[in-house]
Structure 1
Amino acid sequence: MDKLQQGIDRMQEQKFEEAAKLFTGVIEENPGEPLGYINFGNLLLHMQEYERAERFFERAISLDDTAATAYYGLGNVYYEQDSFTKAQNQFLQAIEKGLDEADVYFLLGMSLVQQDYHKLALPYLSRAAEIDPNDVDIQFQFGLCLAQNEQFDEAERVLKALLDIVPEHADAFYNLGVICIYKEEAEAALDYFNEALKVQSDHMLAAHAKGEVEKALNGK
């Protein structure tokens, strides 16, 4: 097993100091190759050392401006610091350079959601959901984005499919209830809010919404 893979393994095992030594060795042996810098950048990202991680990813890009995973790593650095416009630009670069994975589309979509560009986010979240149909976070955020774009039937389909994966997803039940309110299906909304509260008794949004629907149904 080469040093690069050993370093990746140590990083996954949370043995960060050992991983750092291995990645340093990779860089010293191959200073003109971007992979050592990219993986050291990923390690620093895990350790929340964002300024150092940024420098390593930028160094990788200076060595190979087609290194898609370096742009992805740099996007993560900015995303973790709530610099969503800068993150968006890096994720777009990663995709343009050939990265075709669920995570990059998801984080690009979420960068746009964080800036309230829900319509622009939708195709990227859709692509992420298509690539990884079993990822709970991706499917949930895709469902939310559909609802925010008033595509209620499709949002309902996605959130119901999510409940097949995670039957006790309180937020999915809550948002299905909200969709039912928009569709003027008060009784169905009440059922979903009750389901959310069964799963999570302190779900404040569901409790509030349930109270409002009950008032409306009782004519108060």
Structure 2
Amino acid sequence: MDKLKQGIEQMQNHNYEEAAKLFTEAIEENPKEPVGYINFGNLLTHMNDYERAERFFNRAIEIDNTAATAYYGLGNVFYEQEKYTKAQEQFIQAVQQGLDEADVHFMLGMTFIHQEYVKLALPYLLRAAELAPDDVDIQFQYGLCLAQNGQIDQAEQVMSGVLQLESQHSDAHYNLGVVALHKEKATKALEHFSKALEINPEHMLAAHAKGQVEQALNE
């Protein structure tokens, strides 16, 4: 097995020093090959060493400016530091270089969400949701974005889908409660808020909403 594969395995097993050693050897053996730098960059990002990670991704891009995963990695470096505009630029580059995976579309959507551009986020989260129908986080964020864009029926559908994937998803129950309130179905809303609290007794938003609905129903 080659050193890059071994390094990735070590990284997945949290043996970071061993992974770094293998990636270094791979780079020394093939200094003109961007993949070694990309893997090392991913490792450094994982270890929150963003400054060095950035240098490795940039080196990979110098060697091959069409290396889509290098732009994706660089985007993650900026995203982790909450530099969302910079992250966005890199994720767009990754997509333009042919990376059409759920993760890159999801991260791109999330950069817009963090900047409160919910309309701009929607097409990217939709694409991510299409590519990863079984990913709970992606489906949930897509559902949330639909709701924020006023597409309530679609949001309800997607949130129900989230519960199919993970029945104990307290935030999905909370959001379905909000949808039910929007549709003036107070009893149904109460059921969802109660379920959210049953799953997560610390769910402040659900507790607050449940209290308000109960008060309204008692009046």
TM-score, normalization by structure 2: 0.98
Cα distance in 2 for partners of 1:180, 1:119 equals: 23
Question: What one-letter code is carried by the residue in structure 1 that aligns with 2:79?
Answer: Y
The residue that corresponds to 1:35 in the other structure is 35
The residue that corresponds to 1:110 in the other structure is 110
1:1-220 matches, within 5 Å, as: 1-219=1-219
Instruction: Write out the 4+ residue segments of structure 1 that deviate beyond 3 Å after TM superposition.
Output: none
Structure 2's unaligned 5+ residue stretches are none
Cα distance in 2 for partners of 1:104, 1:185 equals: 37
Cα distance in 1 for partners of 2:52, 2:206 equals: 42
Give the superposition deviation at 1:171. 0.6
Deviates more, 1:152-161 or 1:190-199: 190-199
TM-score, normalization by structure 1: 0.97
Cα distance in 2 for partners of 1:168, 1:19 equals: 36
Give the superposition deviation at 1:39. 0.5
Cα distance in 1 for partners of 2:66, 2:213 equals: 54
Cα distance in 1 for partners of 2:198, 2:16 equals: 41
Give the superposition deviation at 1:191. 1.3
Question: What one-letter code is carried by the residue in structure 1 that aligns with 2:115?
Answer: Q
Give the superposition deviation at 1:166. 0.6
Give the superposition deviation at 1:141. 0.4
